[in-house]
A and B are shown apart, each in its own frame.
Chain A
Amino acid sequence: MRRFVPLAITFIVGTVLILSVFIPPAQDLNRTFTLYFDIIAVFAFFLGGGNLLRVHINKLRMKKRDWQFSIVTLSGFLIMLAAGLFKIGNPGDIATAVDAEGSMFQTVFNYVLNPLQSTMYSLLAFFVASASYRAFRAKNREATLLLIAAFIILLGRTPFGLMLTGWIPESFSILQVPNLAMWIMNSPNLAGQRAIIIGIGLGVISMSLRLILGVERSYLGDDNA
Chain B
Amino acid sequence: MKYMLRVLFSLVLFATTAVLAQTDVVESDSTTVVTEQTPAPVSMFEAKDKDNDHGHAFVLNWELSADDGAGLDNVLTYEVFRWTPNISDSIGIIDTLLNVAIVDNGPLNQTTATDAEQRIDSLMTAFLGPLANASAQEKGARLHELRAAYVERLAEVHSAYPANGYWRKIKVVPFGTTSCEDVGGKEPENSGYIPDFTDYYYRVDAVTADTLVRAESKIAGPVQSSGQWFNTGRVPVLCFVIIFTILTLYFVQAAKKGTDLYVRPLGGIEAVDDAIGRATEMGKPILYVLGLGSAADVATIASFTILGRVAKKVAEYQTELIVPTYDPIVMSVAQEVVKSAYYDAGRPDSYNEDTVFFVTQSQFAYVAAVNGIMLRDLPATNIYMGKFYAESLILAETGALAGSIQISGTDEIAQIPFFIVACDYTLIGEELYAASAYLGREPVLLGSLKAQDYAKAAIIILAIIGLIAGNLDWTGFTGLFEVTN
Contact = CB atoms under 8 A, between A and B. Distances in A.
Contact of A206 (B231, B301, B329, B452): B452
Contacts of A66: 376
B433 A222 contact: no
Given A25-B227, A41-B294, A218-B337, A196 B365 contact: no
Contacts, number: 201
Main secondary structure of the interface of B (DSSP, over half): helix
A225 B337 contact: no
A185 interface: no
A203 B413 CA distance: 14
A14 to B, nearest CB: 12
Contacts of A206: 244, 248, 433, 448-449, 451-452, 455
Interface in B224-241: 227-231, 234, 237-238, 241
Given A128-B393, A209-B244, A219 B445 contact: no
Interface stretch (B89-97, B145-153, B201-209, B414-422): B414-422
Contacts of A211: 301
Contact residues on B (Cβ < 8 Å of other chain), bracket: 35 or more
A38 to B, nearest CB: 10
Interface residues of A, number: 65
A175 B304 CA distance: 48
Interface string A34-74: 00010011001111110110010010000001100100000
B305 interface: yes
A116 interface: yes
A199 B362 contact: no
Contacts of A18: 241
Given A23-B230, A200-B430, A206-B449, A48 B54 contact: no
Contact of A215 (B296, B420, B445, B456): B445
A39 to B, nearest CB: 12
B358 interface: yes
Interface stretch (B134-142, B259-267, B436-444, B469-477): B436-444
Contacts of A204: 298, 411, 433
B59 to A, nearest CB: 14
6 contacts: A47-B331, A127-B393, A134-B421, A203-B432, A203-B433, A206-B448
